Amino acid sequence: MLVMNNLSKIYRTQMIETHALRGFDISVRAGEFVAVTGPSGSGKTTFLNIAGLLEEFSGGEYLLDGVNVHGMNDDQRSRLRNEKIGFIFQGFNLIPDLNVFDNVDVPLRYRGFAAAERRQRIEQALGQVGLASRQQHYPAELSGGQQQRVAIARALAGSPRILLADEPTGNLDSQMARSVLELLEEINSSGTTIVMVTHDPELAARAQRNVHIVDGQVTDVLHEPVLRGGEQIGASIQPNL
Amino acid sequence: MFRYYLNLGFRSLRRNPVLTILMVITLSVGVAASMSTYTVLHMMSGDPIPHKSDRLFVPQLDTGGMVGYTAGEEPDDQLSYPDTQRLLASGQGIRRTAIYGINDAITPERADMAPLLANGGATTADFFAMFEVPFRYGNPWHADDDARKADVIVLSRATSEKLFGDVDPTGKDLTMGETSYRIVGVLGDWQPLPRYYRIINGNGGAFAGSDEFFIPFSTAVRHEKRNSGNNNCNGDGPEPGYAGWIASDCTWIQFWFEGASVGEQASIKAWLDDYASEQHRLGWLKRPVNTRLRNTMQWLEHLEVVGRDSRIQVWLAFGFLLVCLVNTVGLLLAKFSARAGEVGVRRALGATRSAIFQQYLIEASVIGLVGAALGLALSFAGLWLIGQQSGAMAAVAKMDWAMLLATLLLSLCASVLAGFLPTWRACQVRPALQLKAQ
């Protein structure tokens, strides 16, 4: 599903060259729930941004669902991002002057779905996160947990192959965090691949496998590969130690 | 997606309402200032008879004396009576006409009405066909009437209604001065702007006033009517009396040729040069050949119907619009910068740079649309204010459909132009940075 080989990302200024990722190897198989952990500044978010095609990488290879993304132009990357990837952010990132329905509608508009299909997908996604009755509410009228559920519905509506979550419970209290995590587990159990960046060891422990990043490199894999439906997943992780 | 972006654009008006109001006001004031002054210029400089203005020609002959003569200087704008008679008889072009202003007192048939002092023109039968004058009742007089110096008269609609009400007065007699004229026609609504057929006049200039009646040129001369406009004489002036005046080289008559084609301007000009050369040889024209033959628009330009001040005002107003645009750019930059986070989210959700560009440019256009509506209202207010200055300004401070459309387009184009830089900047947002910063 997501394969990075010897990936590097270098930020250059006039004075300094910073290696955010170096010799970065990771492979996430379809249907996995992977937690990415690491200290601040280790490169977790850079990894997630590159994985989400929001940033380009400096070297190496990245295959998303079998497609080599190297050399793609902005339109191609945007289209691939829209079709294959769903994002969940720590700050929810809902558009404040759009109601719940219209927020979930945004990625579907860019996909070019017809109105009827968009409505059906939005209602289904909101039903899945338990917010079918809040379609006309604006983000400011919802709790943090509900806002994050809307963000999850928005990520799910386009039926992405992979969900990328950046500290999805970082802004929530423990009860809401638990509820959101249960929702992610439910989504994963229905076959959607999830890669979640988190600082929280408890959350990381709920994932099927943990990938630890230090100084822009994968240093550790904390969980054993697990079996789902007879298929071994996560076996191809090659941490650089 | 256009409807979606349009919808987002209208929703966005409610976001940062203070910025939105500032932008709309800035844009609309700039548009109103430029369009109200430009509308006046447009009305002043419009072609009053577009389908044949390039076939209507005004001749000029240099009738001055040798005292103070400078070679090549601009000939007089009007002709003398002897030259007029010869040009009318020349056979050049398909029509020829001459006109001069007269005024006289009309005695109404109604006893309860006081006599009216009316301004009008003495011209020939060709005048009405040449300038395509519409008739409400009756017809122009005939060339025979010119030849017979008949006492016939054509009234303007306003004069007819003033004297007779809303009835057809043709066939009735009208006393003007000491003479009784038979009314042969009443004009329809005809008030060309500018009054190109007789710019040099004594009653209102190019943009105000109107001719209240017309009588045959030959009839006016028979009744020894003096002209009410400009009269230029050389040297010691004419011999005493009316006969001396019309026999002199004093210039007081405006003359027009109508050509069958644009190309006839050259042939009529050649004829005019030959005529001037012949008259110079005969001693009538003192100066060497120096003629002009201008078509309608060249004639209006020559007479500087649109003054330099009017053009400068328009330039200043458009300069003001530019200042407003620069301000709008700044306000849009502020508005769009505040939404960098939204751009980041949309990019993350699959929006291409071009999609963001379209969305924000349409949003800027929506501001332009609202600005256009307000700008249009302010333009009307500006024109009303301009119209208060004088009757002439009131005549030209009117917005036609073309100007109305131009106002809307200008506002829209201005907002799109102002929106380019802020929109381009919005497209450069790096989503990764914005998403983390949210």
Provide the domain limits for residue A112.
29-56+74-212
Query: Could you give the number of structural domains in chain B?
Result: 2
Are both B313 and B352 inside the same structural domain?
A: yes
Question: Which residues in chain A have their CB less than 8 angstroms from residue B438's CB?
Answer: 89, 91, 93
Mark yes or no for CB contact B349/A49 under 8 Å. no
Phi first, then psi: give them for residue B413, nearest 5 degrees. Answer: -65, -40
Show which residues on chain A lie within 8 Å of chain B, measured between beta carbons.
Answer: 45, 49, 52, 54-55, 74-75, 78-79, 81-83, 87, 89, 91, 93-95, 97-98, 106-107, 109-111, 154, 158, 166
Average pLDDT for chain A: 85
Q: Is the pLDDT of residue B437 over 60?
A: no
Are both B317 and B394 inside the same structural domain?
A: yes
Are both B257 and B339 inside the same structural domain?
A: no
Residue A118 lies in a domain: yes
List pLDDT tens digits, range B399-433. Answer: 788 888 888 888 788 888 888 888 888 888 787 77
Provide the domain limits for residue B339.
2-48+307-437
Q: What is the CATH number of the domain that holds A175?
A: 3.40.50.300
Residue B379 lies in a domain: yes
Domain end call among B289, B322, B338: B289
Residue A157 lies in a domain: yes
Residue A173 lies in a domain: yes
Predicted pLDDT of residue A222: 63
Q: What is the mean pLDDT of residues B31-37?
A: 86
Residue B296 lies in a domain: no
Query: Could you give the number of structural domains in chain A?
Result: 1
Predicted pLDDT of residue A42: 87
Predicted pLDDT of residue A122: 94
Question: Which residues in chain A have their CB less than 8 angstroms from residue B430's CB?
Answer: 54-55
A49: nearest CA in chain B?
B432
Q: Which stretches of chain A score pLDDT less than 50?
A: 224-241
Distance from CA of B430 to the nearest CA of A (A): 8
Cα–Cα distance for residue pair B314/B223, rounded to 1 Å? 47
Are both B320 and B284 inside the same structural domain?
A: no
Are both B315 and B231 inside the same structural domain?
A: no
Predicted pLDDT of residue B239: 82
Residue B55 lies in a domain: no
Are both B120 and B177 inside the same structural domain?
A: yes
Asked if B70 has any chain A CB less than 8 Å from its own CB, the reply is no
Of A91, A106, A166, the CB nearest to B349: A106
Are both B260 and B336 inside the same structural domain?
A: no
Question: Which residues in chain A have their CB less than 8 angstroms from residue B342's CB?
Answer: 95
Are both B177 and B248 inside the same structural domain?
A: yes
Are both B192 and B71 inside the same structural domain?
A: yes
Question: Which residues in chain A have their CB less than 8 angstroms from residue B352's CB?
Answer: 74-75, 78-79, 110
Of A79, A89, A166, the CB nearest to B350: A79
Residue B299 lies in a domain: no
Are both B230 and B103 inside the same structural domain?
A: yes
More confident residue, B181 or B363: B181
Name the percent of chain B lying above pLDDT 70. Answer: 99
Question: Which residues in chain B have their CB less than 8 angstroms from residue A98's CB?
Answer: 11
Rg for chain A (alpha carbons), in Å? 18
Are both B145 and B99 inside the same structural domain?
A: yes
List pLDDT tens digits, range B112-150. Answer: 888 899 999 999 999 999 999 999 999 999 999 999 999
Are both B245 and B164 inside the same structural domain?
A: yes
Q: What is the mean pLDDT of residues B202-209?
A: 74
Predicted pLDDT of residue B389: 78
Residue B301 lies in a domain: no
Question: Which residues in chain B have their CB less than 8 angstroms from residue A94's CB?
Answer: 345
